Structure 1
């Protein structure tokens, strides 16, 4: 049997990793400024994370959601405490796309409406409903067009109100920071105005924090730079530091009913422990504050580089806008200088999404390598 060949692969095989470094089969060392799509939040092979998972799998790794799992309760309490969303309810699933699927379902049940308002350049996942609200027709199959979607320019409040006035909108979905698009930040004023409009016209506000959450922006959730309280918040990626886990934070005004949502693997014992370990390390090592401080240092350094048109983003979620396609430069960084960086839908943009514990010393190494390739 062959693999279904859908991934263009670099000629590179990582075999071990530690902290913010990855090592290949030849023991070559790579500085990780991408974190595997913003997934590695607390660093590779963190000792506390490894120990917690080893201890749990030796006890019980999985049983279904038909029995009690106190780890789910412990996780919901710890997540509420650290995020500041302690009055929300938590539904656990397996991925970001699944989190968005379930958030859309809750919003549609609550409003008895179908239309979803999203924003140009948005990416919310590849499953049936999530891909329908993703602004990329190339990854949509005919079967995906299952409900009406309106795409609007980001930060255009007037356009949002025009769409909501029709009173057929179940939800407005906004990324805390648009990631795959190339790192675009919705303004605080825009988020606050959209929240007011959603309440006025009876639509739900869903904040997609799948890539921008868990401290990456310098806030626990990127939307927290604004004074809003979303109806639903979707999470994944850095939540499990590589273990597949996702979730939806659901405002207390929504009532749970048996059978409303469901999942086989979501909230299993290992997923809960992986997320608890992430939260514990974030708290113990001050990673949210580190993302804020080191991210500010990184952004300042990047803005001084020649040949850079723009640096966008917050914390350790930054987009580096070049004057030409970034692919050749990324390959040069990887194969000649041992630095992982990320691509974006916008071909001229490099995404930087390193582990949240990255230090100024690693930033200085990155800057040295960038100067070599930008001449």
Structure 2
């Protein structure tokens, strides 16, 4: 049976990973500056992660949410402590798309409204409402297009105000640093005014932290760079360091009731063990401090290369923008220099999303390779 051919694939077959490196089936070492779409947060095969997952699967990998699971309680407690999101409630699911789907559903339930405001170049997932709020018509099927979504430009505060005052918007969903869209950001003034307008119009602000969360921006969440209080925060990717897990952080003002949300696999024992290993390692290895140190170093090195016309993003969620399309440059980096980087809907931009454990020597290796490739 052939695989359903929906992915253009590079001719590389990784079989092993260690920290910031992966190794292919021929034994070639690659520097991973993409982390499998920002998923690898604490490094490939971190011993804390391997031990936690191995020990848990040897005991109990899964049971349904119909029973007590103390690992969920422990994960929620550690997440509150490390993220500083005091008193939020946690709903666990399996992916970023599912997290955003549940976030939008919850906003609609609680406000009794249906329309969503999203932003140009946004990406929130590939499921029903999440993909409708994604600014890419080519991946929106007719069944998704029946959702009520209005797209606005980042920093268009007058547009946000006008739409919210119509009274039918349940949620404003925003990436505080856009991922697939190309690392664009709104201004602090814009984000803070959006938060104020949402609260004045019975509309939930949803912070999509699926890619930018878990320290990648230099703070635990990207929205924490601003004075805002989201009603809902969606998380995934770096949350499990490769194990499928997602979640929704829900403001304490939002009341739960039985049956409001649900999932079969979300919050299973193995996922929680992986999630706890990530949180504990972020803290013990001081990885968020490392993000800020390496980010400054990376940006200083990037500033010395004249071909780089713009440096976007924060922390270790960065974009290097050129005045030409970068597909061939990225192929050179992979095949000739053995370095993984990421692309974006902005075809002139390379995305940099390495494990948060990256060191300055790896940055030096990348820029030496980039100079040669250019």
TM-score (norm 2): 0.99
Which residue number in structure 1 is paired with residue 373 of structure 2? 373
Q: Which moved further from structure 2: 142-151 or 61-70?
A: 142-151
Which residue number in structure 2 is paired with residue 143 of structure 1? 143
- TM-superposed CA distance for 1:202, in Å, is 1.2
Give the unaligned 5+ runs of structure 2: none
- TM-superposed CA distance for 1:176, in Å, is 2.1
1:1-375 aligned at under 5 Å gives the runs 1-374=1-374
User: Do 1:188 and 1:226's aligned partners in 2 also have CA atoms closer than 8 Å?
Assistant: yes
Query: 2 CA distance for matches of 1:358 and 1:155?
Result: 33
- TM-superposed CA distance for 1:186, in Å, is 2.1
- TM-superposed CA distance for 1:337, in Å, is 0.4
User: Do 1:94 and 1:265's aligned partners in 2 also have CA atoms closer than 8 Å?
Assistant: yes
- TM-superposed CA distance for 1:326, in Å, is 0.6
RMSD between aligned alpha carbons? 0.7
Query: 2 CA distance for matches of 1:115 and 1:128?
Result: 14
Query: 1 CA distance for matches of 2:187 and 2:287?
Result: 24
Query: 1 CA distance for matches of 2:306 and 2:24?
Result: 31
User: Do 1:92 and 1:266's aligned partners in 2 also have CA atoms closer than 8 Å?
Assistant: yes
User: Do 1:77 and 1:86's aligned partners in 2 also have CA atoms closer than 8 Å?
Assistant: no
User: Do 1:316 and 1:354's aligned partners in 2 also have CA atoms closer than 8 Å?
Assistant: yes
TM-score (norm 1): 0.99
Cα deviations by residue, 1:157-190 (Å, 9 ceiling, x for unpaired): 1111011110110000010210001111222221
Query: 1 CA distance for matches of 2:181 and 2:246?
Result: 21
- TM-superposed CA distance for 1:146, in Å, is 2.9
**SS of residue in 1 equivalent to 2:336:** helix
**SS of residue in 1 equivalent to 2:328:** helix
Query: 2 CA distance for matches of 1:275 and 1:140?
Result: 31
User: Do 1:123 and 1:181's aligned partners in 2 also have CA atoms closer than 8 Å?
Assistant: yes
Query: 2 CA distance for matches of 1:88 and 1:356?
Result: 25
Query: 2 CA distance for matches of 1:146 and 1:47?
Result: 46
Give the unaligned 5+ runs of structure 1: none
**SS of residue in 1 equivalent to 2:312:** strand
**SS of residue in 1 equivalent to 2:59:** coil
Query: 1 CA distance for matches of 2:175 and 2:56?
Result: 33
User: Do 1:282 and 1:288's aligned partners in 2 also have CA atoms closer than 8 Å?
Assistant: yes
Query: 2 CA distance for matches of 1:202 and 1:223?
Result: 20
**SS of residue in 2 equivalent to 1:62:** coil
- TM-superposed CA distance for 1:311, in Å, is 0.6
Query: 1 CA distance for matches of 2:106 and 2:300?
Result: 41
- Aligned pairs, how many? 374
Query: 2 CA distance for matches of 1:302 and 1:123?
Result: 26
Query: 1 CA distance for matches of 2:155 and 2:131?
Result: 22
Query: 2 CA distance for matches of 1:76 and 1:146?
Result: 35
Cα deviations by residue, 1:234-268 (Å, 9 ceiling, x for unpaired): 00000000000000000001110100000000000
Task: Return structure 1 stretches of 4+ with deviation > 4 angstroms.
Answer: none
Cα deviations by residue, 1:11-31 (Å, 9 ceiling, x for unpaired): 110010100001111100100
